Amino acid sequence: MDIVNHNSHFVSQPTAPSPVVPTREPLPPDHAPFLSLIVPAYNEERRLLASLRQIKEYLQRQSYPSEVIVVDDGSVDGTAAVVETFMSDYTSLRLVRAVHGGKGHACKQGVFHSRGQWLFLCDADLSMPIAELSSFVSLFNQHAPILIASRELPMSQRHGEPWYRHLMGRVFNALVQMLAVRGIQDTQCGFKCFRADVARDIFRVQRISGWGFDVEVLFVARKRGYDIIEVPINWYYRSHSKVHPLRDTIHMFREVWQVRWNDWHRCYEASEHPADVSALSDQCPPEQSYHPQQHVIEEKLHVKCTDATFPPEE
Distance CA 192, CA 308 (A): 25
Q: Is the pTM value of this prediction over 0.85?
A: no
CA 233 to the chain's CA centroid: 16
**CA distance linking residue 181 with residue 203, whole number of Å:** 17
Contacts of 128 (CB under 8 A, 6+ apart): 122, 149, 189, 190, 191, 233, 234, 235, 236
Q: What is the pLDDT of residues 250-287, one digit of tens each?
A: 777 788 888 888 898 898 984 443 333 333 333 444 44
- Least Cα distance to 109 among 307, 288, 301, 254 occurs for 288
CATH label, 3-13+30-299, candidates 3.20.20.150, 1.10.287.3510, 3.40.50.300, 3.90.550.10: 3.90.550.10
**Do the beta carbons of residue 175 and residue 224 sit within 8 Å?**
no
Beta bridge partners of 280: none
Strands 3-5 and 10-12: antiparallel
Q: Say yes or no to pLDDT of 6 above 60.
A: no
Is residue 245 within 8 Å of 313, Cβ to Cβ? Answer: no
Q: Is residue 38 a contact partner of residue 122, using CB atoms and an 8 Å limit?
A: yes
pLDDT, tens digit, 9 for 90 and up, residues 198-222: 999 999 999 988 878 988 999 999 9
The yes-or-no verdict on residue 246 having pLDDT over 80 is no
Q: Are strands 118-121 and 93-98 parallel, antiparallel or unpaired?
A: unpaired
The amino acid that residue 302 corresponds to is H
pLDDT at 161: 76
* pLDDT score for 177: 74
Beta-bridged to residue 96, according to DSSP, are: 71
List the chain domain ranges.
3-13+30-299
The b/e string for 112-123 (b: 16+ C-beta within 10 A; e otherwise) is: bbbbbbbbbbbb
Q: Are 54 and 122 in contact (CB under 8 A)?
A: no
